[in-house]
């Protein structure tokens, strides 16, 4: 075994081997994989091998696509059989909510150019003569889905990895990991030490223990999963070709052909966690004892759909452990707060994604940026409050719902409340219906009507709609209060702070004390990294605010770029400061009623910041707004939040102060065309494509400038536009294809209803020739094309008169 490697990959399952293969293939040959037993001896060897394009997330779908592309060529490349079968797959629907979900998936898949088709019950019965189609109202069919031999792909990738120069060490266990003073990693194994620049934790079932070796806690726990292989079924044996895989999510089952029979897999109603406190190191290639009683109802579900199973005996029941995270998606990418330590674990569908994630993660490690936006799987999407105990509780809800209808507003109760603002109980009394954002309870909307205190999840307008409309109108005409305590807040200070921040953002860092600057951070290609607002609080001190969900992501980036000379200090202020927003034409009068000093526009203009007492609490108030009305962001010591809140609400009656929630904020920001992180601002777009191109200051140097210069020279390939949609009762949500005639010319990044302008709105990127107001396009929403018109941006108060009033 090598004593030094550029990268050490821990774990020889499908994921670790794929990362190793891709690193070596793309030119980093100096990779050592370390596996404690034989390759595939964790979850991989037991997997059913189903590979589908289906995923609820646009970018994860691309990972699946990459895997399938690779599996189809691996055998030719390596000589190792991988058992790939193109079988096609069907996903069924037996209720309108499921049809909506399929509609969303259909439209999103079309943005990716995937071959996906609607099928009727009759079509399904023709494609799979053994299926009972009773109750189906439709389905989707992907002709190119298939299955693969998990052992075969892992062995093939290992052959490929070795051919490209990587070293694969089996029967070698990592026992500890240290970082040396020089920043190198020292990986201890039972066969000796390896020093390296990068470590990848692909330890599957043991990934939490490996993470612990470097002081990290990751939310991944093993749970049992069962699939059943039936005895030979003559109707299958006699057929030529392969039957399509069928997923009946409403019965939480999948069925596919295996040789001359069928496999039934199921996600039962109660997860059996397996060694939740840590899988024993000596576990390898062992099946678990199946518990047929535990899954009996779901076997019945299988027999209902495929009656022939009721007449056929079991040939083999496979019960094996799989890792589960709070939302079922894996944990990939840079591990916060470490340098050069990556995760590639937490996989419950790791065969489907192994090929693809190996490709994308290798690129991420080598280039420092992912080729596609992998935020959906980024381990930093979870904060510190999402710990082992949280996951232990949460997966009880997630596992039985792995096939639940995907929709963006299905706020589950499990493991909540987790993080709350001090005014949480007051918000509850005011009728808040909360969502969970990075673990924070945040009101989505307010109602006193008991029946509407639970939102009806779905893709079409729902019972929240009238309350959100009311809140938007109220903010437009009076004044509203919103709690954004969850903002990520960082104090940056020191003699080098200004120069350093200026290298991190394309914007000019404010020079005058009390000035605020919208300051996008870019990656080296000029694409959006983060959306930051910088306030100069005093000489050499800056208050930086970014999106709450991006806290770890953004602070990680700042930490990694911190100069080594001690001239800049960073301090996380997120949990020390709360933030309440006042917005609406009466916000100044209200604030003036409870503050000392002059708040007139002359004394406290838009885009400035001051320290002001609100009642008896010293607050930092930024005159900023994300909703396009006169407004203020009131940052205050978190322990004094109730005092600030009571002062504002105490005076609020005279101004008709009411609280509003996240949904109203989202509606209003769409009307203003303000960009949202990970919607409009992601690794696929630069500021030059958007209305915040003005933030790019060409007369200074900053990360991403070369990329922007290149784009400017080559020509801006697309532009962000606002469109109004003829939507009936279903607004776009993002990832909708945008059509000119029959041709897909772009994709929406967000969408919703603008209550102040009373229009359905979408933001999206299209080539410049379609980016002129008046251009007639169409946006496909839940599988149905809707007329759309490009309009001048912003739709609401284009001269910003209200905001700057």
Ligand X SMILES: Cc1cc2nc3c(=O)[nH]c(=O)nc-3n(C[C@H](O)[C@H](O)[C@H](O)COP(=O)(O)OP(=O)(O)OC[C@H]3O[C@@H](n4cnc5c(N)ncnc54)[C@H](O)[C@@H]3O)c2cc1C
Beta sheet of 479-483, edge-to-edge order: 609-614, 617-622, 631-637, 577-583, 479-483, 657-659
Find the shortest distance in angstroms from Cβ 45 to ligand X.
7
Peptide linkage before 665 cis (omega within 30 of 0): no
Nearest to 430 by CA among 640, 652, 585: 652
Site string for ligand X, 393-432 (x = CB under 6 A): ----------------------------------------
Nearest to 207 by CA among 383, 388, 59, 46: 388
- If you count them, how many residues does the chain have? 805
Specify the stretch interacting with ligand X by CB under 6 A; choose among 10-18, 92-100, 425-433, 499-507: 10-18
Specify the stretch interacting with ligand X by CB under 6 A; choose among 30-38, 100-108, 359-367, 640-648: 30-38
Site string for ligand X, 781-800 (x = CB under 6 A): --------------------
Residues 474 and 653: beta-carbon distance below 8 Å:
no
Which residue in the set 139, 223, 320, 439 belongs to the binding site for ligand X (CB under 6 A)? 320
Nearest to 397 by CA among 219, 293, 222, 269: 269
43 vs 548, which CB is nearer to ligand X? 43
User: Terminal CA-to-CA distance of the chain, rounded, Å?
Assistant: 69
Which residues, 499 to 528, sit near ligand X by CB under 6 A?
A: none
Q: Is 186 exposed, middle or buried (0-12, 13-18, 19+ CB in 10 A)?
A: middle
216 is a contact residue toward ligand X (CB under 6 A): no
Query: CA 337: distance to chain centroid?
Result: 19
Find the shortest distance in angstroms from Cβ 285 to ligand X.
9
89 vs 427, which CB is nearer to ligand X? 89
Find the shortest distance in angstroms from Cβ 710 to ligand X.
37
3-class SS of residue 429: helix
328 is a contact residue toward ligand X (CB under 6 A): no
**Bridge partners, 533 (sequence order):** 518, 545
Q: Give the C-alpha separation, 211 to 278, whole Å.
A: 12
Which residue in the set 202, 365, 723, 766 belongs to the binding site for ligand X (CB under 6 A)? 202
Residues 302 and 261: beta-carbon distance below 8 Å:
no
Which residue in the set 322, 357, 630, 723 belongs to the binding site for ligand X (CB under 6 A)? 322
Q: Could you tell me the CA-to-CA distances from 434 to 41, 461, 670 in Å, in that order?
A: 43, 18, 21
Which residue in the set 7, 14, 65, 90 belongs to the binding site for ligand X (CB under 6 A)? 14
Which residue in the set 318, 409, 524, 643 belongs to the binding site for ligand X (CB under 6 A)? 318
Which residue, chain included where needed, has tokens 């007492």? 613
Find the shortest distance in angstroms from Cβ 41 to ligand X.
4
47 is a contact residue toward ligand X (CB under 6 A): yes
227 is a contact residue toward ligand X (CB under 6 A): yes
Three-state SS sequence of 367-414: HCCCCCCCHHHEHHHCCCCCCHHHHHHHHHHHHHHCCCCCCCCCCCCC
**Bridge partners, 779 (sequence order):** 738, 786
Find the shortest distance in angstroms from Cβ 73 to ligand X.
19
272 is a contact residue toward ligand X (CB under 6 A): no
66 is a contact residue toward ligand X (CB under 6 A): no
Find the shortest distance in angstroms from Cβ 205 to ligand X.
5
Which residue in the set 11, 370, 480, 631 belongs to the binding site for ligand X (CB under 6 A)? 11
Q: Give the C-alpha separation, 142 to 158, whole Å.
A: 29
11 vs 732, which CB is nearer to ligand X? 11
Nearest to 353 by CA among 78, 150, 155: 150
Find the shortest distance in angstroms from Cβ 352 to ligand X.
4
Sequence-separated (6 or more) residues with CB below 8 Å from residue 707: 522, 523, 524, 525, 526, 527, 686
319 vs 629, which CB is nearer to ligand X? 319
Find the shortest distance in angstroms from Cβ 274 to ligand X.
10
205 is a contact residue toward ligand X (CB under 6 A): yes
Structure tokens at 44: 């991989």
Which residue in the set 8, 21, 28, 42 belongs to the binding site for ligand X (CB under 6 A)? 42
Find the shortest distance in angstroms from Cβ 286 to ligand X.
11
Backbone torsions φ then ψ of 801, nearest 5 degrees: -70, -35
Which residue in the set 5, 9, 16, 531 belongs to the binding site for ligand X (CB under 6 A)? 16
Q: Which DSSP letter does residue 60 get?
A: H
Nearest to 303 by CA among 294, 288, 317, 314: 314
Which residue in the set 85, 225, 461, 610 belongs to the binding site for ligand X (CB under 6 A)? 225
Which residue in the set 50, 57, 640, 686 belongs to the binding site for ligand X (CB under 6 A)? 50
137 vs 288, which CB is nearer to ligand X? 288
Find the shortest distance in angstroms from Cβ 778 to ligand X.
35
Q: Give the C-alpha separation, 731 to 458, whole Å.
A: 11
Q: How many CA atoms lie within 13 A of 687 on its CB side?
A: 25
158 is a contact residue toward ligand X (CB under 6 A): no
Backbone torsions φ then ψ of 800, nearest 5 degrees: 60, 30
Find the shortest distance in angstroms from Cβ 11 to ligand X.
3
Which residue in the set 5, 7, 15, 722 belongs to the binding site for ligand X (CB under 6 A)? 15
Q: Is 337 exposed, middle or buried (0-12, 13-18, 19+ CB in 10 A)?
A: middle
690 is a contact residue toward ligand X (CB under 6 A): no
Find the shortest distance in angstroms from Cβ 93 to ligand X.
21
Find the shortest distance in angstroms from Cβ 321 to ligand X.
6
Specify the stretch interacting with ligand X by CB under 6 A; choose among 87-95, 316-324, 407-415, 764-772: 316-324
Find the shortest distance in angstroms from Cβ 172 to ligand X.
6
Q: Give the C-alpha separation, 40 to 148, whole Å.
A: 14
Give the DSSP per-residue string, 306-317. -GGGGGS-EEEE
11 vs 550, which CB is nearer to ligand X? 11
Structure tokens at 163: 């051919």
Which residue in the set 49, 302, 578, 751 belongs to the binding site for ligand X (CB under 6 A)? 49
Number of residues that bind ligand X (CB under 6 A): 41
Which residue, chain included where needed, has tokens 């590979």? 51
Which residue in the set 173, 212, 294, 712 belongs to the binding site for ligand X (CB under 6 A)? 173
Site string for ligand X, 333-362 (x = CB under 6 A): ------------x-xxxxxx----------
Find the shortest distance in angstroms from Cβ 347 to ligand X.
4
Sequence-separated (6 or more) residues with CB below 8 Å from residue 238: none
Specify the stretch interacting with ligand X by CB under 6 A; choose among 44-52, 109-117, 485-493, 660-668: 44-52
317 vs 366, which CB is nearer to ligand X? 317
Which residue in the set 12, 208, 355, 673 belongs to the binding site for ligand X (CB under 6 A)? 12
Which residue in the set 6, 29, 30, 37 belongs to the binding site for ligand X (CB under 6 A)? 37
Q: Could you tell me the CA-to-CA distances from 613 to 136, 179, 428 in Å, in that order?
A: 62, 46, 26
Find the shortest distance in angstroms from Cβ 292 to ligand X.
15
Which residue in the set 174, 479, 481, 617 belongs to the binding site for ligand X (CB under 6 A)? 174
3-class SS of residue 693: helix
**Interacting residue ranges for ligand X, rule: CB under 6 A:** 10-16, 34-37, 41-44, 46-50, 173-174, 202-206, 210, 225, 227, 318, 320-322, 345, 347-352
């Amino acid at each position: 075994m090598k004593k030094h490697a550029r990268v050490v990959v821990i774990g020889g399952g499908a994921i670790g081997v794929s990362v190793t293969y891709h690193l070596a293939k793309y030119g980093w040959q100096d990779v050592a994989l370390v596996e404690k037993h034989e390759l595939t001896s964790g979850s991989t060897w037991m997997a059913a091998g189903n590979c589908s394009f289906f995923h609820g997330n646009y970018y994860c779908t691309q990972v699946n696509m990459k895997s399938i592309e690779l599996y189809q060529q691996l055998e030719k490349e390596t000589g190792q059989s991988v058992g790939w079968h193109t079988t096609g797959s069907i996903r069924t629907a037996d209720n309108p909510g499921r049809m909506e979900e399929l509609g969303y998936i259909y439209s999103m898949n079309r943005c990716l150019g995937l071959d996906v088709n609607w099928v009727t019950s009759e079509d399904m019965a023709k494609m799979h003569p053994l299926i009972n189609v009773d109750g189906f109202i439709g389905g989707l069919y992907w002709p190119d889905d298939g299955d693969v031999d998990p052992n075969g792909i892992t062995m093939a990738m290992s052959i490929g990895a070795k051919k490209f120069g990587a070293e694969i060490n089996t029967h070698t266990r990592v026992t500890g990991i240290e970082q040396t003073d020089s920043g190198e990693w020292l990986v201890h194994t039972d066969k000796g030490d390896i020093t390296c620049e990068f470590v990848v934790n692909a330890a599957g079932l043991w990934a939490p223990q490996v993470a612990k070796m470097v002081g990290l806690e990751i939310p991944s726990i093993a749970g049992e999963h069962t699939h059943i292989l039936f005895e030979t079924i003559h109707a299958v044996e006699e057929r030529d070709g392969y039957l399509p895989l069928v997923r009946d999510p409403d019965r939480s089952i999948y069925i596919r052909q295996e040789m001359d029979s069928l496999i039934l897999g199921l996600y039962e109603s109660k997860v059996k966690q397996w060694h939740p406190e840590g899988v024993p190191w000596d576990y390898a290639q062992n099946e678990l004892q199946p518990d047929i009683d535990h899954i009996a109802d779901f076997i019945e579900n299988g027999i209902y759909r495929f009656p022939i199973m009721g007449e056929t005996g079991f040939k083999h029941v496979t019960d094996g452990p799989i890792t589960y995270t709070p939302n079922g998606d894996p944990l990939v990418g840079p591990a916060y707060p470490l340098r050069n330590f990556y995760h590639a674990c937490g996989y419950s569908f790791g065969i489907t994604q192994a090929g693809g994630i190996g490709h994308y993660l290798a690129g991420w490690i080598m280039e420092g940026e992912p080729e596609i936006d992998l935020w959906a799987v980024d381990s930093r999407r979870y904060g510190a409050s999402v710990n082992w105990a949280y996951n232990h509780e949460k997966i009880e809800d997630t596992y039985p719902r792995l096939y639940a209808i995907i929709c963006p507003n299905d706020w589950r109760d499990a493991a909540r409340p987790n993080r709350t603002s001090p005014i949480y109980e007051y918000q509850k009394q005011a009728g808040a219906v909360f969502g969970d954002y990075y673990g924070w309870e945040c009101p989505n909307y307010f109602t006193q009507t008991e029946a509407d205190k639970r939102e009806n999840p779905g893709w079409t307008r729902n019972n929240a709609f009238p309350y959100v409309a009311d809140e938007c109108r109220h903010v437009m005409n009076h004044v509203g209060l919103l709690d954004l305590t969850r903002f990520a807040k960082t104090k940056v200070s020191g003699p080098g702070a200004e120069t350093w921040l200026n290298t991190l953002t394309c914007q000019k860092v404010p020079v005058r004390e009390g000035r605020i600057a919208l300051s996008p951070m870019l990656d080296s290609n000029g694409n959006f990294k983060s959306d930051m607002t910088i306030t100069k609080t005093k000489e050499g001190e800056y208050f930086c605010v970014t999106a709450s969900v991006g806290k770890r992501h953004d602070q990680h980036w700042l930490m990694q770029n911190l100069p080594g000379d001690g001239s800049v200090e960073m301090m996380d202020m997120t949990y020390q400061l709360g933030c309440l927003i006042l917005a609406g034409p009466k916000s100044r009068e209200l604030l003036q009623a409870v503050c000392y000093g002059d708040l007139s526009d002359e004394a406290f203009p838009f885009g400035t910041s001051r320290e002001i007492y609100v009642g008896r609490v010293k607050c930092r108030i930024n005159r900023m707004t994300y909703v396009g009305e006169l407004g203020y962001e009131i940052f205050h010591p978190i322990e004094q939040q109730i005092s600030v809140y009571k002062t504002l609400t105490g005076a609020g009656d005279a101004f008709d102060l009411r609280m509003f929630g996240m949904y109203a904020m989202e509606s209003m920001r769409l009307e203003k065309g303000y960009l949202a992180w990970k919607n409009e601002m992601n690794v696929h777009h630069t500021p030059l494509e958007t209305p915040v191109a003005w933030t790019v200051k060409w007369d200074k140097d900053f990360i991403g400038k070369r990329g922007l210069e290149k784009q400017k020279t080559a020509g801006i390939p697309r532009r962000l536009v606002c469109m109004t949609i003829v939507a009936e009762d279903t607004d776009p949500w993002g990832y909708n294809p945008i059509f000119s005639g029959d041709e897909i010319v772009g994709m929406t990044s967000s969408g919703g209803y603008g209550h102040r302008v009373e229009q359905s709105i979408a933001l999206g990127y299209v080539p410049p020739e379609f980016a002129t107001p008046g251009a007639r396009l169409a946006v496909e929403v839940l599988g149905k094309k809707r007329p759309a018109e490009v309009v001048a941006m912003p739709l609401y108060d284009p001269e910003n008169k209200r905001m700057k009033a």
